Structure 1
Amino acid sequence: MRAAESADSNLATPWLRPFTGRHRVSTAWRAGLPLHEALNSVGPRSVQFVPQTRLSADEAYEAFIFRTRTVPTRDNLHDFFNGLVWLAFPQTKRRLNELQAAEIARTGVGATRGPLRDALTLFDENGAVLDAPAALWEALVARDWHALFVTRRALWSDARLLVFGHALLEKLVAPRKAATAHVLLTGASLSNALDDATLAQRLGPEWLAQKPFVPLPVLGVPGWCAANALAEYYDDPKVFRPRP
């Protein structure tokens, strides 16, 4: 199956609802436009996508984006989802890029990324943001999965989970029970937590360098998988692991 067709086959899933331009991008891509042109056809002027060939071998990807204010894009699912996140959360993506570029300018590109660049990459690829009642946060941090998803299940009607990481969105094209997000550990319900400007402002380098994340198997979220309507779904220690 072509990447464009694969992208279009799973666009109605709950984790993609925040990405309102997804159908237009997918339609343009399936019609034959290169992905960077499909993204540009629906995107704001603040974000521009260019062919991957614009990126030279001697310049880091993050440094190129910072220097040119454009995003190199390949015709594949990984970059399709990366583009969707750029379109929906341009300020947050720009903030991540600014922090990456600053670290590259400060330390160069070496064999290891360092704690801040590691955290930035982890959030960019596999991150999520949760706006939820305090009782759900308490259960999540404790990795008390039964409380989080069974006894306190009704509280999820007042919660919102944003899957931000584009690599995780790509994995969810063929959902597997073990798919796990790294949720930013804000520790409480936040007004407008999923707002682009609010999220961008929260991304301080000192805080991120501490890797303030907690794992969450996303298919455990009520409504995200039909099988999790049964409490027995969570009796799987290979996925719903206790806190070390």
Structure 2
Amino acid sequence: MTLPAIDWAQPWLAPYRADGEAAAQAVARNDGCVAAGLQDIGSTSAPDFVRQYELPTGQAFEAHIFRTRTVPTRDNLHDFFNGLVWLAFPRTKRRLNELQAGEIARDGVGATRGALRDALTLFDENGALLDAPPALWRALVARDWHTLFVSGRGLWSEARLVLFGHALLEKLVTPRKPITAHVLLPADGGNGPAALDDVSVAGMLDAQRLGRKPFVPLPVLGVPGWCAGNEAAQFYDDPKVFRPLAGRGIPGA
């Protein structure tokens, strides 16, 4: 298996670039084995990456990780990015896994996950973290896209967005305008600075709060500097992507 080409110069890959380039080279050296490539550059803070066949038939993936401290890994881009997030945010990923495993131990694996496991999966697959001035947070929560990206555009120089979800990173290997992240809303509603380091993010993952799905959608290619096309204000005049809140007109119209 050969990994698809990844443009590591893309701004959303900056937090993962060093490990990602090294891991991609290691995968190639290991005849396309993603687990072996990730293991080659792993650290003591990350779990071991093992081949997918080490996950026993019928065993829940998250329960297995929690029990063995190993991550079964397939030879595909999805699991490659999952490994990179484990390397960058090991405490946060362990906290997500701990909460998932606790829910599985209590309720088993059924046809539906339940509110907490749904939220954990959503963040794990498609989540993002934002540190931004309060004015940008208010505009984002209100889906006021004109303020967020046009009239307030200059404030993005004071902001930092980190994509956490590995499925989100996988989708952006082929960037498309509709790709949308679920940004974790801080407990203070974005009224203060947010630390985006691994320890701080792990500490934000409160089970009771997560069960209420404290996320706001953000079309990531709207972020200034993340897409050449968004330099024109008309880029945001697309209600299929930049959707208003239900019951409101298009913000800024």
Gaps of 5+ in 1: none
Deviations 1:214-240 (CA, angstroms, capped at 9, x unpaired): 000000000000000110000001100
Q: 1:37 maps to what in 2? A: 36
What does residue 178 of structure 1 align with? 178
* 8 Å contact kept, 2:127–2:164: yes
- Of 200, 208, 213, 1:211 maps to 213
CA shift digits 1:170-205 (9 cap, x unpaired)? 000000000000000112155452100000011010
TM-score when normalising by structure 2: 0.93
AA in 1 matched with 2:144: D
Aligned to 1:97: 97
User: Deviation above 2 Å: which 4+ runs of structure 1?
Assistant: 30-33, 189-193
Does the 8 Å contact 1:146/1:234 carry over to 2? yes
User: Hey, what's the Cα distance between the residues in 2 that align with 1:18 and 1:39?
Assistant: 16
Residues 22, 84 of structure 1: 8 Å contact kept: yes
Q: CA deviation at 1:206?
A: 0.2
CA distance in 1, matches of 2:84, 2:196: 15
1:3–1:77 contact (8 Å) kept in structure 2: no
Alpha-carbon separation, structure 2, partners of 1:214 and 1:169: 18
Long gaps (5+) in structure 2: 247-253
% same residue: 64
Tell me the equivalent position of 1:14: 11
Secondary structure of 1:87's match? Answer: helix
* Residue 141 (structure 2) aligns with: 141
Contact kept in structure 1, 2:26 and 2:37, CA below 8 Å: yes
Looking at structure 2, the residues matched to 154 and 12 of structure 1 have their Cα atoms a distance apart, in angstroms, of: 23
Determine the C-alpha separation between the residues in 1 that align with 2:9 and 2:160: 17
Given the superposition, is the C-alpha separation of residues 190 and 86 from structure 1 closer, same or farther in structure 2, using an over 3 Å criterion?
farther
- Note the C-alpha offset of 1:45: 2.0
Report how far residue 57 of structure 1 moved.
Answer: 1.5
Kept after mapping to 2: 8 A contact 1:115/1:210: yes
Distance 1:25 1:136 in 2: 35
Give the partner amino acid of 1:115: A
Aligned pair in 2 of structure 1 residues 172, 17: CA closer, same or farther (>3 Å)?
same
Separation of aligned partners in 2, 1:219 and 1:132: 17
8 Å contact 1:131–1:189 — kept in the other structure? no
Aligned equivalents of 1:147, 1:191: Cα separation in 2: 20
SS at match of 1:239: coil
Q: Distance in 1 between matches of 2:176 and 2:28?
A: 25
Of 14-23 and 117-126, deviating more is 14-23
Question: 8 Å contact 1:129–1:193 — kept in the other structure?
Answer: no
Instruction: Specify the alignment match of 2:250 in structure 1.
Output: none
State the match for 1:25 in structure 2. 23
Tell whether 2:141 aligns with 1:130.
no
1-structure distance, mates of 2:219, 2:123: 15
CA contact (8 A) 2:134 2:192 kept: no
